[in-house]
Amino acid sequence: MERISWDQYFMAQSHLLALRSTCTRLMVGATIVRDRRIIAGGYNGSVSGSVHCVDDGCYVIDGHCVRTVHAEANALLQCAKFGVPTDNADLYVTHYPCLQCCKQIIQSGIKTVYYAEDYHNHEYAIRLFKEAGVETKKVKLDYLAVDTNYQEKNKFVQELFVKLENSDVDKEEISALKDEAEKLFTQK
């Protein structure tokens, strides 16, 4: 078995962190790494002890949810809270950082930002990263994914099979398709 790369490993950690997000607009996770060791992680969510978007809806002003603290900021704040230096560390984040997070990342001394998905990549953030010497690298996770819609997809496929069985499609072909779907949807 071939092991995943370090970049994919840390990006997978960020995707797991994103599953803790309490914002319904976009689930984001961030992992701070130094010397191939995780030093902090964060996800976007409300201020500790406050109401969450998942409970009360997003609080949107000028197209942005202002209820949440961004994943990158939460990870950086975790380091600050516990006295963990971030100078020359790397950041793995599920989505390209917003402009405000970009500035915080630069100020914290992060040297490389790895991201999985483009997300409104602000042209000024791109310029600031470049001016500050912060590298940005896209990390593909094409064979490793956290599927938060697994049950809905499985239900949809099963409904398709019911429709196929009531059609003129060859029964052996349907059976072969069912076997393949079973392999794909059965957890090992």
Q: Tokens 């989505």 belong to which residue? A: 95
User: Using one digit for the tens of pLDDT, what is the confidence trace for 133-161?
Assistant: 999 999 987 655 556 666 677 778 878 87
* Cα distance between residue 42 and residue 78, in whole Å: 8
Contact criterion met (CB below 8 Å) for 90 and 110: yes
Catalytic one of 2, 72, 117, 165: 72
Collapsing DSSP states into helix, strand and coil, what is residue 22? coil
Highest average pLDDT, of 125-129, 151-155, 163-167, 176-180, comes from: 125-129
Specify the amino acid at residue 87: D
Query: Measuring CA to CA, how many Å separate 147 from each of 26, 38, 144, 180?
Result: 15, 23, 9, 18
Structure confidence at residue 188 (pLDDT): 46
Closest-CA residue to 75 (of 29, 110, 40): 40
DSSP 102: H
Q: At residue 11, what are phi and psi to the nearest 5 degrees?
A: -70, -40
Instruction: Give the mean model confidence (pLDDT) for residues 75-101.
Output: 97
* Cα distance between residue 36 and residue 78, in whole Å: 18
Closest-CA residue to 105 (of 114, 61, 140): 114
User: What is the helix (H) or strand (E) element at residue 184, kind and residue range?
Assistant: helix 171-185
pTM of the predicted protein model: 0.79
Q: What contacts 117, CB < 8 A, 6 or more positions away?
A: 94, 95, 96
Side-chain half-sphere of 110: how many Cα atoms within 13 Å? 32
- Does 169 or 185 have the greater pLDDT score? 169
Whether pLDDT at 33 is above 90: yes
Structure confidence at residue 19 (pLDDT): 94
Contact criterion met (CB below 8 Å) for 121 and 144: no
Structure confidence at residue 27 (pLDDT): 94
Structure confidence at residue 89 (pLDDT): 98
- How many Å from the N-terminal Cα to the C-terminal Cα in the chain? 16
Collapsing DSSP states into helix, strand and coil, what is residue 55? helix
Instruction: Give the mean model confidence (pLDDT) for residues 66-75.
Output: 96
To the query of whether residue 72 is one of the catalytic residues in this protein, the response is yes
Structure confidence at residue 157 (pLDDT): 80
